[in-house]
Amino acid sequence: MDNLINREEKIFFQTYKRLHIEIDHATGARIFDKSGNSYLDFLGGIAVNALGHCHPKTIIAIENQIKKYSHVSNYFYQEPQILLAEELKRMTGFERVFFSNSGTEATDGAMKLCRKWGNQKGKTNLISFTGGFHGRTYGALSLMDKPLYKEGMGPYLEGCKILEFNNVDDLKNNIDDNTTAVFLEFLQGEGGIVSATQDFIATLNELKNKFDFLIVADEIQSGIGRTGKFLAYEYYDIQPDIVTLAKGIGGGLPLGAILGKESLNSVWQKGQHGTTYGGNAVACAAGLSVLDELNNGLIEQVKRVGDYLGKELQKVKQNYPDIISEIRGIGLMRGVLLKIEAALLVEKLVSKRVITNAASGKVLRLLPPLIITENEVDEFISALNQSLSEL
């Protein structure tokens, strides 16, 4: 029989540029291929595997729930959903929750919520920013400036305006009384691990007070403790009206969420938004295991290990000034801006049995599981130094 690579090419739409690794199993921060090779995972399923692979508490949570039931639909009251929503409320202060299956569904749902709120006030425009990534569905794509993801598939939603990220003047010149909501990642992921500046966010807050619009924090990649705080916006003096979550919240299972202020509760009426699978009981049980670990000291560990990773990356930068331009990010959401295409370094690292990712062409994106240790950081840094020396 052909290997998995050949079989995949024969059966799937060719939408993914995959690493040539046939996965057998994974545990902790390690992925094992079918030949028995072990890879250090510094991608974490693209920020999904917050507790690493096959975490014992997540496995127990999944097993216990699936023995009771896996899916009954949202026509019923389900304890796993309510427990997870209550814990999210306790950790964030947001009073209202809606569960989806993914980040892009959370984005589209938030867009609908904002438009419904805005239409009641005669507002329609949605603002987003260059470099942002919010998902692959039509609503989310309408907020993005990514040609590769959009070319030939338009037209997209009207009333969506994309401004330059971190450009204060662009904010002042384009936000007005017709602005319904502003969507942004406080720490852009796909855009190259780029942080919003304090001045940019302060100006956004001033404009919100002037023009009365909603701020939607996309925490799909940066949330769930990845930056050393539960949500990345906590590094700024601002309070969003809505937060979108996914990736790490589900413990490896498909789960997304919209968090909103109590003042938005009356915007949607029963039946105006919904999902068949969203808030699946097994996914919610897995999600609760993630939050339990975060509340059991893991966020503090992320801060400590993330600071260590940042310091070690700065040392590598000093050793390779002709290749590395900048170290970006915070916590365990890091980017290495290169003077070459990042894909070249990704391939070198794969040859050293380390999994990473390229973002925005020249940024090496690092999203390891939140359980990563200083020793595993040392292992990664050693492989990074070796790989850079061979470029």
pLDDT tens digit sequence for 306-339: 999 999 999 999 999 999 999 999 999 999 999 9
pLDDT for 94 beyond 80:
yes
Domain parsing of the chain, residue ranges: 4-53+298-389, 56-293
Asked if residues 265 and 224 have their Cβ atoms less than 8 Å apart, the reply is no
- Residue 329 CA to residue 327 CA, distance in Å, equals 7
For 311-320, what is each residue's pLDDT tens digit? 999 999 999 9
CB 123 within 8 A of CB 179: yes
pLDDT of residue 77: 98
Please report the DSSP string for 286-345 in residue order.
Answer: HHHHHHHHIIIIIHHHHHHHHHHHHHHHHHHHHH-TTTEEEEEEETTEEEEEESS-HHHH
Please choose, from the candidates 165, 85, 155, 87, the residue with its C-alpha nearest in 3D space to the C-alpha of residue 128: 165
| Phi, then psi, of 48 in degrees rounded to 5 | -90, -45
Contact 125, 157 (CB under 8 A): no
56-293: CATH topology: Aspartate Aminotransferase; domain 2 (3.40.640)
pLDDT > 70 fraction of the chain, expressed in percent and rounded: 100
**Tokens found for residue 33:** 């291929």
pLDDT higher than 60, residue 1: no
Antiparallel, parallel or unpaired: β 354-355 and 194-195: unpaired
Residue 110 burial (CB count, 10 A): 29
Q: From the centroid of its chain, how far is CA 321? A: 29
The count of residues in the chain is 391
Task: Give the confidence band of 69 by pLDDT, cuts at 50, 70, 90.
Answer: very high
Segment 13-22, tens digit of pLDDT: 999 999 999 9
DSSP structure class, residue 164: P
Q: What is the CATH number of domain 4-53+298-389?
A: 3.90.1150.10
pLDDT of res. 281: 99
pLDDT digits (tens, 9 = 90+) for 247-294: 999 999 999 999 999 999 999 999 999 999 999 999 999 999 999 999
Prediction pTM value: 0.97
Helix (H) / strand (E) element for 142: namely helix 138-142
Q: Is the pLDDT of residue 2 over 90?
A: no
**Using CA atoms, how far apart are residues 202 and 112, in angstroms rounded to an integer?**
26
Distance CA 105, CA 161 (A): 20
Mapping DSSP to helix (H, G, I), strand (E, B) and coil, where does residue 256 land? Answer: strand
> Are 215 and 208 a contacting pair, CB within 8 Å?
yes
